[in-house]
Amino acid sequence: MAGPNELLAAIADVGADRRRGGYSRHVFDDAERELREWFVEQAEARDLRVSTDRNANIWAWWGDPGDDAVVTGSHLDSVPGGGAFDGPLGVVSALSAVDILRDKGFRPRRPLAVLVFAEEEGGRFGVPCLGSRLLTGTIDADKAGALRDPSGVTFAEAMRSFGADPVRLGRDVEALRRIGQFVELHVEQGRGLVDLDRPVAVASSILAHGRWRFRFRGQGNHAGATLISDRHDPMLPASQLVLAARRAASGVAGGRATVGRLVPNPGGTNVIASTVDLWLDARSPDDRSTRSMVEDLSGVASEFASAEGCQVDVTEESYGGTVHFDAVFRDQLSGLLDDAPALSTGAGHDAGILAAEVPAAMLFVRNPTGISHAPEEHAEPDDCTAGARALARVLENLAG
Ligand code: HGY
Ligand code: MN
Ligand code: MN
């Protein structure tokens, strides 16, 4: 069977974004559907039993589904213009680990499954880890079903057009009971392993992080006919907030604040916008700092807005507190992997959502530049092979 590099090569053209570069693969769009179909084919070719749960997550079982299973997996969706490894590396490494174990005649003594989560990036419906939040019930099912993509389609409508029924969206106690332990392999989104000169690490923690929408309202008008003194241009306070976010994060130990998405309405070159939406992604090692960073920014946003005769409202769209992975489980995996180092991460993951419910752990694979969420994201073939082998060793130990 194929190793992780061959499996990644097999999907290298799916969802390639010619305009933005990288990949754009969003839940239930053509590319992600093609990846789902590909994964099901690959799983069935390995005699795994495939089913899609009520929250559109895909489960592939080695043997009968059962409780206290060893579960591994990740996601197939991407950010807009994302890299090839964030998500898919965890999925292809899981398939490759199954091959490695099968080839050595391994027979699991615990149920074992590969799990592919829906909408981890929130690239279409705006809430990250949507599939794992639904599975665990950490997002209200009705709220999730009503999430709209930029063209106004709701998650429930998108599910239906995909052929899935949203009526049972929500916490899935039976599925959760089946997860005895969860391990997610992921490309490292940082340079920790490069600096340590190691191919694989285990995860120690995830930054507290959330997303907030700031909607600035002004008065749409003509770019030429409107005197500066007569303007209420929401682009001004929005721009000031972008700069304020960088200043705020620079003042918090380990703080990060990003505005990667800013949408003027209507968005004409010769039009003063009537509203400007921007989304703040704020993170830091602890909840209190993250929350106070956002409170401060909400305060200055109001000042910026009123100085321009505009208004602003702030909506929290998602939040996840700091995750500390189970230290015993983490150290057990590290011990299996030549004392692999433990690294914290600034990136959120489905494993981080599951960690509140079941013993969860992560393996990271070296990323030479540390760049992620960009076309330059990369992991060397030898490190991808080492990652799949490490995952196989972990699964063999846990399910053996
Ligand atoms: O945004 C994140 O940290 C993750 O890639 N969803
Ligand atoms: Mn990501
Ligand atoms: Mn990811």
CB atoms within 10 A of CB 280: 27
Cα 116 from Cα 330, distance rounded (Å):
22
Q: What is the DSSP string of 100-151?
A: HHHHTT---SS-EEEEEES-SS-TTTS-TTHHHHHHHT-S-HHHHHH-B-TT
Cis (ω within 30 of 0) for the bond into 375? Answer: no
Among 76, 373, 377, which residue has the most ligand 1 atoms within 8 Å of its CB, making it the best to mutate?
Answer: 373
Ligand 1 atom nearest to CA at 209? 3
Mean pLDDT of all residues in 56-81: 97
Ligand 1 atom nearest to CA at 283? 3
Of 181, 104, 173, give the one whose Cα is nearest residue 355: 181
**Domain residue ranges in the chain:** 4-207+322-399, 209-320
- The answer to whether the CB of 348 falls within 8 A of the CB of 203 is no
In sequence order, which residues have a C-beta less than 8 Å from that of residue 289 and are 6 or more positions away? 208, 252, 253, 254, 255
Cis (ω within 30 of 0) for the bond into 341? Answer: no
Cα 208 from Cα 252, distance rounded (Å):
13
Ligand 1 atom nearest to CA at 128? 6
Indicate the CATH number for domain 209-320: 3.30.70.360
Cα 277 from Cα 273, distance rounded (Å):
10
| Tokens read off for 276 | 């400007």
**Amino acid making up residue 287:** D
Mean pLDDT of all residues in 108-132: 98
Q: pLDDT class for 246, splitting at 50, 70, 90?
A: very high
The model's pLDDT over 124-148, given as tens digits with 9 standing for 90+, comes to 999 999 999 999 999 999 999 999 9
Pocket (CB within 6 angstroms of ligand 1): 120-121, 128, 347-348
CA of 223 to the centre of ligand 3 (A): 41
- The answer to whether the CB of 80 falls within 8 A of the CB of 24 is yes
Residue 384 three-state SS = helix
Cα 92 from Cα 182, distance rounded (Å):
16
Among 86, 121, 279, 364, which residue has the most ligand 1 atoms within 8 Å of its CB, making it the best to mutate?
Answer: 121
Residues at Cβ < 5 Å from ligand 3 ion: 86-87
Cα 133 from Cα 137, distance rounded (Å):
6
What is the Cβ-side half-sphere exposure of residue 74, based on CA atoms within 13 angstroms?
Answer: 27
CB atoms within 10 A of CB 385: 17
The model's pLDDT over 355-375, given as tens digits with 9 standing for 90+, comes to 999 999 999 999 999 999 999
- The answer to whether the CB of 350 falls within 8 A of the CB of 132 is yes
Mean pLDDT of all residues in 255-276: 98
Cα 237 from Cα 278, distance rounded (Å):
11
Give the whole-number percent of the chain exceeding pLDDT 70.
100
CA of 228 to the centre of ligand 1 (A): 40
- The reported pLDDT for the residue numbered 262 is 98
Name the closest-CA residue to atom 6, ligand 1. Answer: 121
Q: Which one is the CATH code of 4-207+322-399: 3.30.390.10, 3.40.630.10, 3.40.1190.20, 3.40.50.12780?
A: 3.40.630.10
Using the predicted structure, report yes or no on whether residue 1 has a pLDDT greater than 80.
no
Ligand 1 atom nearest to CA at 86? 5
Among 79, 259, 345, 367, which residue has the most ligand 1 atoms within 8 Å of its CB, making it the best to mutate?
Answer: 79
- The reported pLDDT for the residue numbered 295 is 98
Using the predicted structure, report yes or no on whether residue 210 has a pLDDT greater than 80.
yes
- The reported pLDDT for the residue numbered 314 is 98
Place of tokens 């969206």: 169
The model's pLDDT over 319-335, given as tens digits with 9 standing for 90+, comes to 999 999 999 999 999 99
Cα 46 from Cα 291, distance rounded (Å):
46
- The reported pLDDT for the residue numbered 2 is 86
Cα 85 from Cα 276, distance rounded (Å):
33
- The answer to whether the CB of 223 falls within 8 A of the CB of 341 is no
Give the whole-number percent of the chain exceeding pLDDT 90.
99
- The reported pLDDT for the residue numbered 198 is 98
- The answer to whether the CB of 355 falls within 8 A of the CB of 204 is no
CA of 174 to the centre of ligand 1 (A): 27
Cα 148 from Cα 78, distance rounded (Å):
18
DSSP β-ladder status, 208-217 and 311-320: antiparallel
Using the predicted structure, report yes or no on whether residue 164 has a pLDDT greater than 90.
yes
Using the predicted structure, report yes or no on whether residue 302 has a pLDDT greater than 90.
yes
CA of 258 to the centre of ligand 2 (A): 14
Mean pLDDT of all residues in 92-120: 98
CB atoms within 10 A of CB 258: 16
- The dihedral region occupied by 129, where left means phi > 0, alpha psi between -120 and 50, and beta the remainder, is left
- The reported pLDDT for the residue numbered 91 is 99
- The reported pLDDT for the residue numbered 373 is 98
Ligand 1 atom nearest to CA at 373? 5
